Amino acid sequence: MTKLAQWLCGLALLGSAWAALALSPPGLRLPAPYRQALLPLPVYLLVAFGCYSLATVGYRLATFNDCEEAAAELQEHISAAREDLRRRGLRF
């Protein structure tokens, strides 16, 4: 199962549970404070997901590894390509 499918399954599960409670079926009566906290819950979850996403991106950016060997190899490839283009008559 892909990560997107996992997220969508979780979202569908939470959404259906929220809808079942928010629509308040006849046999289920929630007290008023619970209903008041339940209605804006999707907005709170969306904000929490945004905070989690920003924190994850920030952490991954802060711990990003430098690949010095790959950078040196790329510079060699660039130099070789420029030399090849110069031999073919292209000027920079």
CA 85 to chain centre: 41
Q: How far apart are CA 86 and CA 92, in angstroms?
A: 8
Residue 64's pLDDT is 85
Instruction: Give 55-73 pLDDT, tens digit per residue.
Output: 999 999 999 888 889 999 9
Distance between start and end Cα atoms, the chain: 50
Instruction: Give 22-51 pLDDT, tens digit per residue.
Output: 887 777 788 888 888 888 988 998 999 999
**Burial letters 55-77, b for 16+ CB under 10 A, else e:** eeeeeeeeeeeeeeeeeeeeeee
Q: Interhelix angle for 3-22 vs 41-62, to 10°?
A: 160
Which of the two residues, 26 and 19, has the higher pLDDT score? Answer: 19
pLDDT reading at 52 higher than 90: yes
Domain boundaries defined on the chain: 1-62
Residue 67's pLDDT is 86
pLDDT reading at 5 higher than 90: yes
